[in-house]
Amino acid sequence: MSQEDKIRFRCPQCNKAISVDAQHAGKRGKCPGCAAPVHVPAREPEPAPGQPHDEILYHMEQHYGTVQELALQEIVPALGVTIHVIPASRNRNHVTLFTAGLSDRPMKVPPGEEEYQYAELLMHLPADWPMNARPVAGSNDFWPFDWLRRIAAYPHLNETWLGGPHAIIATDDPPQPLAPNTKLSCLMLFREPDERGKVQLRDGRSLVLYLVAPLYTEERDLELQAGMAELLQRLDRHGIASIVDVNRANVATAASAAWTVGQRVLAQWSPEEYYYPGVIRAIQGGKHLVAFDDGDQALVTAKQIASLEIKVGSRVFGRWKGAPAYFPGKVTRQNGEKIYIQYDDGDQEWTTVSMVRVKR
């Protein structure tokens, strides 16, 4: 059966995308995701030519989730650009904002870059991000709406374009924090991959979708010095998700520098608050496989890793005589990974880094 003989809709309970044969129109069934009762709607025609905003909404429904019925606000009235919202749901742990209208007119692109003439923007926010109809300027939750508005207006008001597959925008010179509760100060535009990142309009035009994600100033500087590929690799190695996290790690600073396979580190054994010595055995998709000195292994994120810096003066918890129990103390002497611990109860011993854990 062809794609045209399918009806696509979403579960009203969990937002799972469902595709069924057109012969089931009007029937009832169960959602394959959450088993909630669902009603298969009658086939709805795709947006007609000449209704590009509806076509954009249709694309977002197919690839991201159910679009909220009413737009949040008209962000650039003179240009007809509007923000729309895809709310969080049971199977979707984030809110998506996206624009419709930036692509109403072409941007002024360099020769050979015609595929970037038309574009729209999207941003993923945590599920609990306040969705006020009129966000208050200067508040912690205002900047996503403000910067979608600014970015959407910029190319048309300045007769330019947003760039190729990647671009970085600074809030000021020098960059200033996006909000009082974060040090993030720049915004990266990243073309969404595969079929999600391209909307084919029925009037013959195609437009690209840019994911907008915040960066730290140091990450912007890293891109200027080492290139976009290096920045993207570090973001991936640290497991930085596309959902905004105003307190995420800064992948360009020394404290969160990229870890490497074979490196000795301290890693958190979740759900404990303690960090234990081990070796990174593999890195994949932002996760690090750590082989702990006691024989256990775990997949951890970059946020759960710290440098193996146990030295004279460090507070540690040591296994007295190698027994299972840990006791608090301080390192008073050191010879490589051999350390001398003065325990708080008066005992003392030579032991090794493998026999301690650290609270951070």
Q: Are strands 206-215 and 119-126 parallel, antiparallel or unpaired?
A: parallel
Residue 15 has pLDDT above 80, yes or no: no
Query: Is 177 exposed, middle or buried (CB count within 10 Å of its CB: 0-12, 13-18, 19+)?
Result: middle
Judged against a pLDDT cut of 50, whether residue 3 lies above it is answered with no
Q: Count CB-CB contacts under 10 A for residue 1.
A: 8
Mean pLDDT of 319-346: 95
- pLDDT number for residue 304: 87
The two three-digit tokens of residue 346, written as one number: 């008066």
Relative orientation angle of helices 217-226 and 228-237, to the nearest 10 degrees: 130
The residue-averaged pLDDT of 173-200 equals 93
195 by DSSP, 3-state: which?
helix
CA distance linking residue 318 with residue 278, whole number of Å: 15
Considering the four listed CATH numbers 3.40.50.170, 2.30.30.140, 3.40.50.360, 3.40.50.620, the one that applies to the domain covering 259-307 is 2.30.30.140
Whether the pLDDT of residue 48 is over 70: the answer is: no
Q: How far apart are the first and last CA of the chain?
A: 58
- Does residue 317 sit in helix, strand or coil? strand
At which residue do the structure tokens 């692509």 appear?
Answer: 103
- pLDDT, residue 194, reads 83
Query: Residue 302: pLDDT band by 50, 70, 90 thresholds?
Result: confident
Alpha helices in the chain (DSSP H): 52-63, 143-157, 217-226, 228-237
Nearest to 103 by CA among 124, 79, 77, 87: 79
Domains 259-307 and 315-359 share a fold: yes
Could you give the C-alpha distances from 55 to 59, 64, 70, 201, in angstroms and in order? 6, 14, 16, 7
- Residue 236: predicted pLDDT: 80
Q: For residue 219, what are the β-bridge partners?
A: none
Which of 128, 187, 133 shows the shortest CA–CA distance to 162?
187
pLDDT tens digits along 254-270 = 554 567 889 999 999 97
CATH topology of domain 315-359: SH3 type barrels. (2.30.30)
Mean pLDDT of the region 134-141? 73
pLDDT of residue 46: 52
pLDDT at 2: 41
The full DSSP string for 17-32 is EEEEEGGGTT-EEE-T
Every domain of the chain and the residues it spans:
1-44, 46-237, 259-307, 315-359
Helix extents (H) in 99-216: 143-157
| Residue 178: per-residue pLDDT | 95
Q: Is 337 helix (H, G, I), strand (E, B) or coil?
A: coil
Structure tokens at 96: 């998506």
Place of tokens 């050979």: 112
Residue 209 parent element (H or E): strand 206-215
CB-count exposure of residue 300 (10 Å: 0-12, 13-18, 19+): buried
Q: What does the alpha-carbon distance between residue 27 and residue 8 come to, in Å, rounded to a whole number?
A: 13
pLDDT higher than threshold 50 for residue 295: yes
- Which of 124-128, 173-177, 301-305, 338-342 has the lowest average pLDDT? 301-305
Query: 1 pLDDT exceeds 50?
Result: no
Of all residues in the chain, the percent with pLDDT exceeding 90 is 52
Which range has highest mean pLDDT (27-31, 227-231, 234-238)?
227-231
Query: What is the pLDDT at residue 60?
Result: 92
What pTM, to 2 d.p., does this model score? 0.63
Query: What letter would DSSP give residue 92?
Result: B
Nearest to 209 by CA among 74, 102, 91: 102
Separation of alpha carbons 166 and 228, rounded Å: 8
